[in-house]
Amino acid sequence: MKKVIGWTAGVLLLAGAGFGAFVSMQDEMTPKGTTLAGMDVGELTPDQLRQRLETWWTTKQEAALQPHSRLLTKQPTPLALRDLGIRPDFEATLSFIEFQKYTDTLLGKVIAGGPINVKWTQSGGSFDDLAEFVAKNAKPKQEASVEFKDGHFTRKYEVPSFELNTEAVGAAALAAMVERTPKFELPMKTADVRISNEVVDGINLVVQSFSTNFSAGNLNRTNNIRIAAGSLSGSLLLPGEVLSYNETVGKRTPKAGYKLAGVYANGRHEIDYGGGICQVSTTLFNAAALANLEIVSRQNHSMPVPYVPVGRDATVDYNGIDFKIRNNYDTPIAIASEVKGGTITFYVLGSKKLDYKVRLETSDHSSWGNKVQYVTDSSLAPGRTKVIEKGSIGRKCTTWRIIERDGVEIERQRLFDSIYRASPRIIARGPKAKPKPPVEPTPDESTPVEGGG
């Protein structure tokens, strides 16, 4: 009896071991309906699934991602995943899959299959060629600007100098794979931005403006006015920053597009490259003064100019005389210009209106006469004259800035004393007539001649 019992127990043990082995063999399988990139990978063991993943990857590694950047004039070609150092993390991918267990099946528990979410990893990759491409196709550095023409604002955002951050390319590409996007933004190392996009967008109103007129028929002078005004237009000033006319406009040379036109030089009318640009500085001076900006430096002409009242002009000379203004507001501003027909206008742009009125006034006027200077011109006939230089009388006055609120003067600022030296009236005249030679007497035939022998 004991032998029977022992034999039966042995059979049961063997049967149990065989059943356990069978269960172990069938314990881990992908659920039905499991897919990999659209392929059916259901009812596979982990090893079989890993092999299928590796086979799939041999073709997938030729797939590419598109790097791109708004800072480039031309976009690079797509880069293969292999070259980006991107590959599947097989162990992580398998660890996230819920396999169907045989024992669960016996108990009636069925796991639903679905798409496999491949986990990715990145290492290596060489991006020197990509960095060279970025350097070659980078957009040029651009200053932020705000302009105002025909009643509309035009804005440009700052483009700083930059280079590719090669150490971060792999991570950017990996993020695109995880997010299943076909392209990724190239990571850049950029210089500090002086003017943010928010500052540019915040300048949205005209604080003050001023216009002067000129003869558009004087083509050379009109050309010079347009170039100088355009160089200044759009300039942005943060609180405390100074705008230099000479630094912004630059040298007035033929290479820069300037042409010969009339200028004032030492109380005389001359011809030089850039004639007319002082009307640009004068117009800007008046707009800035009326906007209550700080006038850092300003000098009047040697003679009064016809396009603004005496005491309200501002001359410039690249070799020594500059016009400068400072943004003394607590908010950013922009300087914009507009040249239409025979009118030049400067606008001071900002983010809030002045809650007071500004006007300019001149006082303490005085004047004195000038002399007449004659020069000889051999091309003129004797006694004939021609005015070479009209000259001007001497003038002096004081310019004030008046601040008013609700019609009441609350502040009076003495801006400048302007002194215009008297310049002589220069008149050319022909040379004096030469005196006629004396007439020799005609010999009288009756008069004896000495020396006859």
Other Cβ atoms within 10 Å of 191 Cβ, number: 11
Cα separation of 168 and 163, whole Å?
Answer: 12
- Spell out the residues 6+ positions from residue 390 whose beta carbon is closer than 8 angstroms to its own: 425
Say what the pTM is.
Answer: 0.70
Query: For residues 369-383, b (16+ Cβ closer than 10 Å) or e, as one string?
Result: ebeeeeeebeeeeee
Write the DSSP string, 166-208.
GGGHHHHHHHHHHHT-SEEEPPEEEPPPSS-HHHHHH--EEEE
Question: What value does the mean pLDDT take over residues 61-86?
Answer: 93
pLDDT of the residue at 301: 92
Residue 287 in this model has a pLDDT that exceeds 70:
yes
Beta carbons of 425 and 373 less than 8 angstroms apart: yes
Task: Round to the nearest angstrom and report the end-to-end CA distance of the chain.
Answer: 204
pLDDT of the residue at 396: 96
Q: pLDDT confidence of 104, banded at 50, 70, 90?
A: low
List the Cα angle 417/327/275 in 5-degree steps. 60
pLDDT of the residue at 13: 41
Single-letter residue type at 270: E
Q: pLDDT confidence of 153, banded at 50, 70, 90?
A: very high
pLDDT of the residue at 376: 80
pLDDT of the residue at 419: 95
Q: 320-333: per-residue pLDDT in tens?
A: 899 999 999 999 99
Question: What value does the mean pLDDT take over residues 311-325?
Answer: 95
pLDDT of the residue at 269: 67
Q: 10-40: per-residue pLDDT in tens?
A: 444 444 444 444 444 457 888 888 998 888 8
Question: What value does the mean pLDDT take over residues 366-376?
Answer: 83
Residue 334 in this model has a pLDDT that exceeds 90:
yes
- Supply 429's token pair: 């005249």
Least confident range of 305-309, 364-368, 435-439: 435-439
Of residues 425 and 88, more confidently modeled: 88
Cα separation of 135 and 209, whole Å?
Answer: 42
Write the DSSP string, 10-40.
HHHHHHHHHHHHHHHHTS-BPPTT-EETTEE
Cα separation of 189 and 352, whole Å?
Answer: 35
Q: pLDDT confidence of 395, banded at 50, 70, 90?
A: very high
Question: What value does the mean pLDDT take over residues 368-393?
Answer: 79
pLDDT of the residue at 426: 79
Q: pLDDT confidence of 441, banded at 50, 70, 90?
A: low
Residue 71 in this model has a pLDDT that exceeds 50:
yes
Cα separation of 245 and 235, whole Å?
Answer: 11
Cα separation of 215 and 236, whole Å?
Answer: 30
Q: pLDDT confidence of 365, banded at 50, 70, 90?
A: very high
Residue 230 in this model has a pLDDT that exceeds 60:
yes
pLDDT of the residue at 5: 42
Beta carbons of 392 and 422 less than 8 angstroms apart: yes
Cα separation of 301 and 197, whole Å?
Answer: 39
User: Residue 360's beta-bridge partner residues?
Assistant: 401
pLDDT of the residue at 62: 86
Q: 250-270: per-residue pLDDT in tens?
A: 999 999 999 988 777 665 667
Question: What value does the mean pLDDT take over residues 423-452?
Answer: 63
Of residues 228 and 61, more confidently modeled: 228
Beta carbons of 230 and 212 less than 8 angstroms apart: no
- Supply 55's token pair: 């086979």
pLDDT of the residue at 99: 85
Of residues 194 and 376, more confidently modeled: 194
Q: pLDDT confidence of 453, banded at 50, 70, 90?
A: very low
Cα separation of 287 and 350, whole Å?
Answer: 13
DSSP conformational letter for 376? E
Whole-angstrom CA distances from 121 to 129, 169, 176 are 22, 13, 12
List the domain boundaries for the chain: 26-140+161-189, 203-429
In this prediction, what percent of the chain has a pLDDT beyond 70?
87
User: Residue 357's beta-bridge partner residues?
Assistant: 404
Average pLDDT, the chain: 86
Which value, to the nearest 10 degrees, does the dihedral of the CA atoms of residues 277, 279, 280, 281 take? 100
Q: pLDDT confidence of 237, banded at 50, 70, 90?
A: very high
Question: What value does the mean pLDDT take over residues 79-97?
Answer: 90
- Supply 114's token pair: 């679905």
Cα separation of 346 and 326, whole Å?
Answer: 16
Q: Is 142 exposed, middle or buried (0-12, 13-18, 19+ CB in 10 A)?
A: exposed
Cα separation of 49 and 88, whole Å?
Answer: 13
Q: 39-61: per-residue pLDDT in tens?
A: 888 889 988 899 989 899 988 88
User: Residue 271's beta-bridge partner residues?
Assistant: 262
pLDDT of the residue at 374: 79
